[in-house]
Structure 1
């Protein structure tokens, strides 16, 4: 979520503020009521998986290597065993033995490493396997560095951005995900959750002003259009949302509507870029109006749109690269197994990412004229009704 905050917000006008409040208050009330209505009433229970393994944390105490009887295809640590002291779990304090991990994605381990183990019960007793490194401490350090850098540079604005980020994660973790697991429509949950994020975070980050209200309205309008376009595209292209073992397992285990989850992902993913564009457009129009008081609605719209075109050109490339980067391993695998480019592009995995990119881009393109027009009307109307009012 982010865009620069204007030095001068849209001019204050009591009548326009009342109109803005009359528009935004019902939207906020409806969003809050929808969240209360859809909020999961019970804790989500995860069904037991046949053959599922318990997870433990441990520390590598020693490694005992031995010659491999045959060459390993993915030799990461060689052959032998490791002794691991359990630091968290049912067997905390005990020292267990596990084979050295090898194979695709196996962690490379050394003495003193903090690792993750899984244990499974067999007729011969419990079997332990090292499957990953612990990353909690490193991630906390990285998060602290991020927060300090943001506050040091952004000061109060950086602090409000952190609060906004906390709200976003809170809505996603405590409302969106549990509600989807509880069986609610993923698309409906995504729309309600995204509306709550936009209403809360934009005002929290950029303050209560007409300029922010314009950005919120532009975001919600463009966001609604994105939802409609994504539903049409997913239905027309017969995308199921099931493209790998993880999505298939999620659909079977938790009875989640995977096509709806795909729509929800497109909608939520587009929100972060939409608010950047809308805030920038509202701020740009306010700045242009302050610099050129003689500009009318048309001139303000044209000036703001010129800036919006440049912004869209750069943001679109960002979206495409972001989706391509996240899907690069799958893209390489598909191309390696298929000779035809047409076959690659129409494969459901790639087509799904194309739909994300195209629909997200269409929503951004719509956000520029919508938000710019609203901002031009509000700024010029405020100046017309109260010419003595200074921007603030």
Structure 2
């Protein structure tokens, strides 16, 4: 299968024979990979761009999700004439390993039992996700990437691509991301995982024939969602305003608008995401430490790279704050990699990279055009 005839928003899923070696030991065989392509691969295969998605996103980067019916999660950035221009580039977006949107994960069926793998699925890493993406690109006949682009966990994958397959990447765009998870990052994820595993319906991960641990997953999402926002943004949007009432109830209903908002976020999330996938992907993010993979020195991760780098942070992002981006920039400078860096101003915190941002669009579009 090739992508020479790919049309905008073409959805595909392929089973690759593998084997895929895993950082935790062993291999994964076969490997299911769900992906979408946008645009057309040129004759010499030089215009491929890989977009890597964040924790709870998917491969539907610029076309409606068949699960929710909502528009793609980065339609402001990807499309004809947009910063990641599908009239110029063949864009590939891959559902990460461990997810629940078509790629191999805990909800995948074990052919030996006919039941979902659940917690028998191996623990995976960001680098494992990248290796699975490389297998897909090999299958599609894409040897090199004009660029790999990602925000948040997608940025971790982009960095891992540059370090793991330096000969395959000509440009790398990392937005609102980090080269390793801090203790605070791990702590927030652990709260979410414990909320899921404390739900009686989790049943050790074996819930696929019954009711999922919706309450635990909703709480996990609520806790995580707070980290995606800024205090200023929450104050501006909600303040201490009450929700559809004139006075406090002196009970535990959602008196405040912000409480109602978080409950809605939690409940809507359980309709589109698998609890076990949440466990696996957050663990992969917590294990991510690019310096550790290269002898403890982050600069060593980029020694073999010949890519141009663009690093972007947001001033109100306290999940992956600007100092985390600066640490990446310093390592890239030490490795002699051509690097651009900008901190953008936004009231929206970490989520700013997902929202319409003319400044971000100018930065990304300009960086890609400069490499033409």
**Does 1 or 2 have the higher relative contact order (CA < 8 Å, sep 6+)?**
1
**Bigger Rg over Cα:** 1
Q: Name the one with the larger strand percent.
A: 2
TM-score (norm 1): 0.29
Q: Name the one with the larger helix percent.
A: 1
